[in-house]
Amino acid sequence: GDSVTQMEGPVTLSEEAFLTINCTYTATGYPSLFWYVQYPGEGLQLLLKATKADDKGSNKGFEATYRKETTSFHLEKGSVQVSDSAVYFCALKPSRETSYDKVIFGPGTSLSVIP
Amino acid sequence: NAGVMQNPRHLVRRRGQEARLRCSPMKGHSHVYWYRQLPEEGLKFMVYLQKENIIDESGMPKERFSAEFPKEGPSILRIQQVVRGDSAAYFCASSPNLQGPEQYFGPGTRLTVT
């Protein structure tokens, strides 16, 4: 079945460091891919998305590129801030448009940024 | 445009009591999803509903748990005879239609069973 795998956390970085959170997926066809972020005590917010191969999603300095050949959607940011401390979830929605398919979430990666 | 609303934000119940969690989707959204997040774990899908219909309840425990999304009013997740293991954050999400890829999440209800 379809699945999402993320690098295990927690990840601890100093402010202004470069961030990479790896995400790989297993799915048939061309799923849509997402990164969601969950700040402490809150619900999930959509951070960015990509709906087809080679698309790059970007938002708030974060980027991720849909790589069909490596089935990956790694999250990157050039310079993290303390306010980026949160849990990041990679997710996919299968591409079968004629019937319902639920969004599948990865286990989440906790990021702590220290001043 | 108000986002997805959930209430209460925090709910404390004693073992054996009932818990009722409410979710109002975003305006114009007719698809509602419930997820459970246990401490230090990811999101687990529970149930997907449209107005007056349960579409997929494959993630919901067979006993004590039920969900509804009536024609009028919010979606309700009901947990009867709660146990300590039900303590978790319960999140609701909504989407406008079947083809829309992303979901919009509410702030969650944190249930504590004492």
Q: What is the three-state SS of chain B?
A: CCCCEEECCEEEECCCCCEEEEEECCCCCCEEEEEEECCCCCEEEEEEEECCEEEECCCCCCCCEEEECCCCCCEEEEECCCCHHHCEEEEEEEECCCCCCCCEECCCEEEEEC
Q: Which of B7, B21, B41, B103 to mutate to test the interface with A (most CBs of A within 10 A)?
A: B103
Checking if the pLDDT of B92 tops 90, the result is: yes
B112 touches chain A (CB under 8 A): no
Contact check, Cβ <8 Å, A36/B105 = yes
Q: Give the count of Cβ contacts less than 8 A between chain A and B.
A: 50
In this prediction, residue A101 carries a pLDDT of 66
Overall average pLDDT of the A4-25 stretch = 94
Q: Are the beta carbons of A59 and A10 closer than 8 angstroms?
A: no
How many other C-beta atoms can be found within 10 angstroms of the C-beta atom of residue A101?
Answer: 18
Overall average pLDDT of the A17-25 stretch = 97
Residue B32: both structure tokens together: 């509602």
* Percent of chain B residues topping a pLDDT of 70: 94
Overall average pLDDT of the B67-92 stretch = 96
Mean pLDDT of chain A: 91
Checking if the pLDDT of A18 tops 70, the result is: yes
In this prediction, residue B101 carries a pLDDT of 66
Contact check, Cβ <8 Å, B102/A44 = no
* Percent of chain A residues topping a pLDDT of 90: 71
Tell which A residues from 88 to 107 touch B, by Cβ distance under 8 Å.
89, 93, 97, 100, 102-103, 105-107
**Among A69-73, A88-92, B36-40, whose mean pLDDT is lowest?**
B36-40
Among all chains, which residue has been given the structure tokens 């993320």?
Answer: A6
Contact check, Cβ <8 Å, B43/A43 = no
Instruction: pLDDT band for B99, please (50, 70, 90 cuts).
Output: low
Q: When comparing pLDDT for A8 and B64, which is higher?
A: B64
Overall average pLDDT of the A3-25 stretch = 94
Q: Which of A5, A103, A104 to mutate to test the interface with B (most CBs of B within 10 A)?
A: A103
CA-closest candidate to residue A94, choices B99, B59, B57: B99
In this prediction, residue A49 carries a pLDDT of 94
Instruction: pLDDT band for A99, please (50, 70, 90 cuts).
Output: low
B90 touches chain A (CB under 8 A): no
Instruction: pLDDT band for A15, please (50, 70, 90 cuts).
Output: very high
Instruction: pLDDT band for A1, please (50, 70, 90 cuts).
Output: confident
End-to-end CA distance of chain B: 37
